[in-house]
Amino acid sequence: MHHISDEQRRFRLARRHLLAPGVQAESPVAVADAVVALHATDAATVFLSVCARLCTPSIAAVEKSLYEDLSLARLLSMRNTLFVVSQELAPQIEASNARAVAAKERRNLLKHLAEDGNGLDERWLAAAENSTLAALTARGTATGSELSAAVPALRTKITVFPGKKQETVQGVASRVIRVLAAEGRIRRDRPRGSWTSSQFRWAAAEPRSAAETAGAQAELALRWLRSYGPASEADLKWWTGWGLGQVRTALAAVGAEEVRLDDGATAYVAPGDTGTETAPEPWAALLPALDPSAMGWADRGFHLPPEHRAALFDRSGNIGPTVWWNGRIVGGWAQRATGEPVWRLLTDTGRDATAAIEQEASRLAGWVGEARITPRFRTPLERELTA
């Protein structure tokens, strides 16, 4: 069995994730495809992840891809999480993950409506959705609040988990909008504020072409292996949210090759992808919370020392902003109220690393400008740095 060392995995990450010198991309779509999918739970993460990998960081280029030519698409997909992917890959994401997520969202909403006991059923929901789509078509774009004002049904309140400890009264507007978005019938348009805002407007969406589930899962697995391999079954299962049977079927369908890692574990690469990588030039990066390079594996031991986890993760397992040196996470960073990036190294990396990190911080401050970034999931180190 071919052996791929942790050092080789870091070399692969540097080039395939567009972080090494000289490999940065020209477009946001190229970045999205290089890492397969960009975490989008936090609006700022998409911009920070893309611009860290562009030859010339550009907020306008990312906005154009998201809101004008629509070459990037947001989908509620892997692990019931919001991602941004290229329009080319969107049908495969839709079939392999998003379709099942949307069906679950609809089932859950119908269950809550039925439990409320006021006669709100599937017919009521369909009428509410049609009214919402009609209002959105008439307006062009609208916020959730504007849609609620225009559609009386969206102002309905229901009791969820009646009779239980967590019983509460909720409005249905956000739930109805979430289902419509999950099914690809509406899409997020420009936010009300800056690119860091999560207060999105909504717009009607063109339906995506249908794809067959098993074929789509195989395609997604192959792309993921090219970007993240070598990786284990457990890594792919965690990243996709699939069952183990689906993971094994997809790996077999693409002819994934087994390799051995430094710890003796078995992992997989794309067919023929066992060649030796040469070392890239030294590199540093300041990557945002939930960046794909930090969130691509269940086991991140080859680039993340276990003693750093307590400082860099929140209690739910979300990683915060990270400082990288030559393929390893060596610290964390944050942005002060003044806009200045500040960081702390958790590993002694030497003078050259410090100089390279300072250069990356200056680059980041230059294109971020007046924007202020607070991660949605705050970690102990990020909080300390901004205190």
Q: Please, which residues have CB within 8 angstroms of residue 189's CB and are 6 or more apart in sequence?
A: 67, 141, 200, 201, 202, 203
pLDDT reading at 98 higher than 90? yes
Q: What is the mean pLDDT of residues 11-22?
A: 98
- Residue at 291 is within a domain: yes
pLDDT classification of 320: cutoffs 50, 70, 90:
very high
Q: Are 360 and 366 in contact (CB under 8 A)?
A: no
Reported as a single tens digit per residue, the pLDDT across 246-304 is: 999 999 999 999 999 999 999 999 999 999 999 999 999 999 999 999 999 999 999 99
Reported as a single tens digit per residue, the pLDDT across 331-377 is: 999 999 888 999 999 999 999 999 999 999 999 999 999 999 999 99
Q: Are 298 and 304 in contact (CB under 8 A)?
A: no
The pLDDT, as a whole number, for residue 96 is 96
- Residue at 322 is within a domain: yes
Q: What is the mean pLDDT of residues 176-189?
A: 96
Q: Are 331 and 361 in contact (CB under 8 A)?
A: no
- Residue at 99 is within a domain: no
The pLDDT, as a whole number, for residue 318 is 94
Q: In what order do the strands lie in the sheet with 257-260?
A: 2-3, 257-260, 266-269
Least confident of 167-171, 205-209, 309-313: 205-209
- Residue at 353 is within a domain: yes
The pLDDT, as a whole number, for residue 165 is 87
Q: Are 115 and 66 in contact (CB under 8 A)?
A: no
Token pair of 319 as six digits: 């990683």
User: Number of folded domains in the chain?
Assistant: 1
Q: What is the mean pLDDT of residues 48-62?
A: 97
pLDDT reading at 208 higher than 80? no
Q: Cis bond leading into 305, ω under 30°?
A: no
Instruction: Indicate left, alpha or beta for 319 from its phi (over 0: left) and psi (-120 to 50: alpha).
Output: beta
* Three-state secondary-structure class, residue 343: strand
- Residue at 340 is within a domain: yes
Helix and strand numbers, DSSP H then E, in the chain:
16, 15
Q: Are 67 and 190 in contact (CB under 8 A)?
A: yes
pLDDT classification of 117: cutoffs 50, 70, 90:
confident
Domain of 310, in residue numbers: 284-386
Q: Please state, in angstroms and rounded to a whole number, the distance separating the CA atoms of residues 312 and 37.
A: 22
pLDDT reading at 147 higher than 80? yes
pTM of the model: 0.94
- Residue at 257 is within a domain: no
Reported as a single tens digit per residue, the pLDDT across 323-333 is: 999 999 999 99
pLDDT classification of 163: cutoffs 50, 70, 90:
confident
**How many degrees, rounded to 5, is the angle at CA 248 between CA 38 and CA 294?**
25
Q: Please state, in angstroms and rounded to a whole number, the distance separating the CA atoms of residues 285 and 306.
A: 20
pLDDT reading at 210 higher than 80? no
- Residue at 358 is within a domain: yes
CA-derived radius of gyration, the chain: 22
- Residue at 363 is within a domain: yes
| 221 against 117, higher pLDDT | 221
Q: What is the mean pLDDT of residues 303-319?
A: 95
Whether the CA torsion 358, 361, 366, 371 is positive or negative: it is negative
The pLDDT, as a whole number, for residue 30 is 98
Supply the mean pLDDT for the chain.
Answer: 95
pLDDT reading at 209 higher than 90? no
